[in-house]
Amino acid sequence: DKIIYMIDRGWIDRVVVGLDYFDSSISKDSPIGISSKQVLDNILKIKNKGCNISISSVYVNDYDNKIKMIEWALKNDIRIKIIEIVNEQKFKSTSKEFIQLENKIKDVFGLEYKKNKYNEIDGLKDNKKAITFFHSHCRIRECDICKQIHLRITASGKMKQCMYNDEDDIDIKSNDFRKKLIKYINTPAKFY
């Protein structure tokens, strides 16, 4: 209701909803929360208000669950973002399981794939972006790409370049924040 209120006033024009389970009494990987059905109903309400809405879901080797989500999203013309698990471990490539998922989904739904400027895969259906596969930039240390996408602000008021390192954090409450922000923007990403 709060989001609908803000959409009606023109304060919000884009919403991304996290959804872990397509059909569960709790929609997220959490001990409390609302049902998947309620989340899906809310997504349709938001879409019917004319707001750009998409779903984000982390892939945890839950192929059948993701298939149901993708079927629903395609049927309702809602973009879905499938995210590879992010952690600080370093590897040379995207996980084999995530690449297998991309390949299976392409065949099952007859999608055309294109790599976007952030080295991620967009799945097109009828020339419209229907799915994006977000591989972990952290896993393969694409810090330069990550810096172009994310601006993270912590609850303690720190701007972070990297989730796994505090070396370049900037205190957004400091008097010289603007100067530090300009320096941050103009400095190439560090690879951790």
Chain segment 15-26, per-residue pLDDT in tens: 999 999 999 998
pLDDT at 188: 75
**Residue among 89, 69, 86, 64 at smallest CA distance from 18:** 69
pLDDT at 150: 67
H-run or E-run covering 174: none
Please write down the long-range contacts of 73-77, taking CB distance under 8 Å and 24 or more positions apart.
73/130, 73/131, 74/109, 74/125, 74/130, 76/43, 76/44, 76/47, 77/47
* pTM, rounded to two decimals: 0.80
As to burial, measured by CB atoms within 10 angstroms (0-12 exposed, 13-18 middle, 19+ buried), residue 114 is exposed
Chain segment 105-150, per-residue pLDDT in tens: 999 999 999 998 888 899 999 999 999 998 877 776 777 776 677 6
Task: Write down the residue that tokens 């297998």 correspond to.
Answer: 100
Tell me the C-alpha distance between 182 and 171, whole Å: 13
**Residue among 142, 162, 59, 139 at smallest CA distance from 91:** 139
* In the predicted structure, residue 47 carries a pLDDT above the cut 70: yes
Chain segment 157-170, per-residue pLDDT in tens: 887 777 777 777 88
